[in-house]
Amino acid sequence: MKRLKWVLYILAVLLVLIQFYRPDITPRKTGTETSDLLQTIPGAPSYLRGACYDCHSNESTLPWYAHVNPVGIFVRNHILEGRKHLNFSVLLDYPTVKKVKKLNECAEAVTEGFMPMKSYTWMHADARLTDEQRRELSHWFETAAAAALARDMNNQ
């Protein structure tokens, strides 16, 4: 019983100490005023921001539970990982081939149900997409890829 008491004390101290560790999710590159996908390519479904932007943009909004570690560490690292794979806030700064590839991958990920991730939709009801919304979003990503390609070709 005495040993269990000490283990609980140590766990409590560790829980308090871990609250001081906060991974930085401040964007390192802000992009240009025409870098943001939603500002440049019109017609995006209204739910794109709620389903994708918390993890894949510089506009992340942390929920209340992200301020309590160790959950906060998981959430912040998840955001950093999501931005590393794709950041809508600077997507249009990507080279043309990468940009088109990423947008087509988005269409596929939404169609196949990989995105938004199940672990995200558990706590974010606005990110739960119906089959119709998935089709619409996938179509928009494909259209955005074509528009981005056309935009880059016109700028050359």
Token pair belonging to 138: 């996938």
Residue at 83: amino acid letter? R
Mean pLDDT of the chain: 84
Q: Which of the pair, 108 or 2, is modelled with greater confidence?
A: 108
Confidence at residue 47, expressed as pLDDT on a 0 to 100 scale: 87
For residue 152, give every residue at least 6 positions away whose Cβ sits within 8 Å of its Cβ, in sequence order, or none: 96, 99
Judged against a pLDDT cut of 70, whether residue 156 lies above it is answered with no
Give me the amino acid identity at 9.
Y
Confidence of residue 126 (pLDDT cuts 50, 70, 90): confident
Check whether the bond before 70 is cis (ω within 30° of 0). yes
> How confident is the model at residue 43, as a pLDDT?
79
| pLDDT (average), residues 141-149 | 90
What pTM does this model have?
A: 0.76
Handedness of CA 137, 138, 143, 147 (dihedral sign): positive
Q: Is residue 66 within 8 Å of residue 76, measured between CB atoms?
A: yes
Average pLDDT score over residue span 55-70: 85
What pLDDT sits at residue 104?
95
Mean pLDDT of the 128-134 span: 93
Q: 85 or 7, which is more confident?
A: 85
CA separation for the pair 67, 22 (Å, rounded):
9
Q: Rounded to whole angstroms, how far apart are CA atoms 156 and 147?
A: 14
Phi and psi at residue 65, to the nearest 5°: -75, -10
pLDDT at 20 over 80: no
Instruction: Round to whole Å and give the CA distance between 31 and 39.
Output: 12
Whether residue 142 has pLDDT greater than 90:
yes
- DSSP sequence for 123-149: T-GGGPPPHHHHHHHHHHHHHHHHHHH
Mean per-residue pLDDT, 116-130: 88
In the chain, where the domains are located: 2-155
Segment 27-59, tens digit of pLDDT: 555 555 545 677 677 778 888 888 898 899 888
